[in-house]
Amino acid sequence: MKIKVVREPLQKALHRVNSIVGSRTMLPILGNVLLKAEENRLTLVTTDLEVRISTSVEAAVEQPGCTTLPCRKLLALVNCFTADEVEMEVDANHHAAISCGSSRFKLLGLGPEDFPEDAGFEEVRSIRMAEGDFKKMLTMISYAASSEDSRKALTGVLCSVAGGVLTLVATDGKRLAMQEKEAAGVEGSDGDVIIPIKAVNELKRMLEGDGGLKVSIGEKQCRFESANFTLSSKLVEGTYPNYRLVIPQNFTRVVEIDTAKFLAKIETVSQVLSDSSSYIILALSEKLMKLQASSVEVGEGSDVIDLEYTGEPIEISFNPEFLADPLKYCGAEKIQMKINDELNPVAIEAGEGFLYVIMPIRKR
């Protein structure tokens, strides 16, 4: 294999595929990037056996071929190079001579025959939409997924297609975030799958702009194809809980609050809390919301927000991080907070299709 490639596009391509490469792996080949040069393109592929990312760049291919090289070392070198063009020549032992300007290096690679092949994929449904729209939907809800393996189905994001509507849901059993959007480019049968949070986080990192994205769903895998990359992932096995059962149908109290102001007040009052088990109290009274927090180790604090509220006074307690998360990511200027009482689920709505449900904390 012998190629010439512009340094900056190569650097961007390596950044796309590098993040899933493990520093400690039982299989040395998984620390390498597969490089395949053919027809004036250089294709780069990495995998951790759960997620697979591929991307490509234009290249002057003098001699086509395929090899694997240590991904992180190759990226580190390209990051240090300053000239515009990188030359790479790989011998029969997969030793790569790499030069850029006055820099000369040799990296020892491994043969591509041991690199895991792309698993077969049979599509049962697909969705086409703008990259930016899908990234926004994931960003608005993915923080609510569980980090505990005891309930495996909750460690991913539910992707549900029904009647031309795409619904994404994440929950850890204490709060739930949901985003719905009409998807014009739906093909195939309706159904639900669970996308692993690792794949979701990689997508949020790589999706950019308003280019087209194709989301393909299979029985055990999903695939995301854009102009810049293809990401494939295994699906989380298991049945997602019936999330709609936890969403109250009616509320006795509704308040509209400025999102940025509410978030700032929560973060300010929370400064006196000492650990993650602490809570913040919201006290609603006529035309006023008072935020209060206290801890034995630090002290206490309060602040207020003026708002339109004329119902009965109520005090309700929340995990401050859980309360702040939807405000950080919903992207709306105002939210509606819907409450029944201090014990039952509270809903936050913002913009079109976004819903967040949070359980209050029983005060000790």
> Residue 139: is its pLDDT beyond 90?
yes
252: in domain: yes
Asked if residue 289 is part of any domain, the answer here is: yes
Assess whether 130 and 240 both reside in one domain.
yes
Mean model confidence pLDDT for the chain: 94
Asked if residue 324 and residue 235 are part of one domain, the reply reads no
Q: Do 110 and 143 belong together in one domain?
A: no
Whether 364 is covered by a domain: the verdict is no
Position 119 in a domain: no
pLDDT at residue 261 tops 70: yes
What's the rounded mean pLDDT across residues 66-95?
97
pLDDT at residue 352, as a whole number? 83
Q: Which of 223, 244, 265 is the last residue of a domain?
A: 244
pLDDT in tens, 292-330: 999 888 999 999 999 998 889 999 999 999 999 999 999
pLDDT band at residue 111 under the 50/70/90 scheme? very high
In a domain, 229, yes or no: yes
Counting the structural domains of the chain, the total is 3
**Are 235 and 132 contained in the same domain?**
yes
pLDDT band at 26 (very low <50, low <70, confident <90, very high): confident
Res. 364 pLDDT band, cuts 50 70 90: low
Domain that holds residue 303: 247-358
Q: Do 167 and 109 share a structural domain?
A: no
Assign 3-class secondary structure to the chain: CEEEEEHHHHHHHHHHHHCCCCCCCCCHHHHEEEEEEECCEEEEEEECCCEEEEEEEECEEEECEEEEEEHHHHHHHHHHCCCCEEEEEECCCCEEEEEECCEEEEEECECHHHCCCCCCCCCCEEEEEEHHHHHHHHHHHHHHCCCCHHHHHHHEEEEEEECCEEEEEEECCCEEEEEEEECCEEEECCEEEEEEHHHHHHHHHHCCCCCEEEEEECCCEEEEECCCCEEEEECCCCCCCCHHHHCCCCCCEEEEEEHHHHHHHHHHHHHHCCCCCCCEEEEEECCEEEEEEEECCCEEEEEEEECCCCCCCEEEEECHHHHHHHHHHCCCCEEEEEECCCCCCEEEEECCCEEEEECCCCCC
Given 244, 261, 295, the domain boundary residue is 244
Task: Give 148-177 pLDDT, tens digit per residue.
Answer: 888 899 999 999 999 889 999 999 999 999
pTM recorded for the entire structure: 0.91
